[in-house]
Amino acid sequence: MSKILYFFLAGFLLLAAFTEKLPAASSALPFLRIAPSARAAGMGETFVAVAEGADASYWNPAGLANMYSMELSLTHMLYWDSSTYDYAAFSYPFSKQLVLGAHIIYMNYGAIAKISETPSGSIGTVTDSFTPSDLAFAVSAGYLLSKDIQLGATVKYALQTIDTSSASAFAADLGALVSLKMLDDNLLFGAALSNLGMQISGDNLPLTARGGVSDKFKLIDPEDLTVAVTAYFPFDTGKLTENIGAEFWYQKEIAFRLGYKIGYDIGNFTAGLGYKGLLEGVFGYEIDYAYASSGNLGDTHRLSVILFLEADNRKTGNSGNKGNLGIRSSPVLNKK
């Protein structure tokens, strides 16, 4: 077991060392990097080592193996200018070791005017308008390799449309989630490599690497505080940055979240709130909001709704893993 753990840790460190030497380059389909999930965004996008619930399909597919039952996550985001971002993720436990997931992303950039050009080459009149958009479909699998190690993979198809032109590509994500219980019962290491795939018109996809740790502590109740740290490396910029985030659940019902991004050109501070409830006899739910600063580009606001769809999960929210990673279960709402 220790050899496998050292393999994952050493592999990620070698990847980080290697990618620091890669030249910066432009990327196609940059919308694949925009972070969904108000919960993850409120925590400063430190979710690679938290990776709970259906949203793990995007952040780290290995986290899907935490799921005991079905879950649906929906996010709407007001992005820069008039752009909007919509996201839906679903998870389904196929067996005790295998959990399947899927997500879809749609981004709308708003109407843009078409302006004619005069014979002399000057700007003419507005003739029409078009609405650029991005779309991505993804399917994922999380596998419980052992009581301490989870692995995951995602395959996705992404399409970008600008007026009458379009471009598309297939890509893949890989992830791992490892319990470091030899150091602390609640300590997790997570790593994910996202958007491995083909080039589009000579540009690479927005390949990124994330690695980090998360841990749980007691403020008022056991494990009511989660703290996470993530190293984030976009291959096209060649710039390594760090994210720090925390989530506190008050009485297992109300969540307060904060995050800070170190080394980013724009947007450092994030914050969020969450509420977990139970619609008796139907499903459990969680409502999350996140604010993220983006400097002169304008702030972003995310609203997410998570539905816990099976009876054994209605009062627990994001479920824990079947092995030792079960300590990662989210704070629960336990109303009588």
Residues 6+ apart with CB under 8 A from 266: 294, 295, 296, 297
pLDDT at residue 117 in the model:
62
Residues 6+ apart with CB under 8 A from 104: 87, 88, 89, 135, 136, 137, 138
- Under 8 Å between Cβ of 51 and 62: yes
Fold assignment, 2-109+128-328: Porin (2.40.160)
Average model confidence (pLDDT) for the chain? 81
Positive or negative, the CA dihedral 46, 51, 56, 61 is: positive
Residues 6+ apart with CB under 8 A from 336: none
Give the pLDDT band (50/70/90) at residue 161: confident
Q: Is the pLDDT confidence value at 204 over 90? A: no
pLDDT at residue 259 in the model:
95
- Give φ, ψ of 304 to 5 degrees: -125, 145
pLDDT in tens, 256-267: 999 999 987 776
Q: Is 251 left (phi over 0), alpha (psi -120 to 50) or beta?
A: left
Q: Locate the domains of the chain by residue range.
A: 2-109+128-328
Beta-carbon count within 10 A of 149 CB: 22
pTM: 0.82
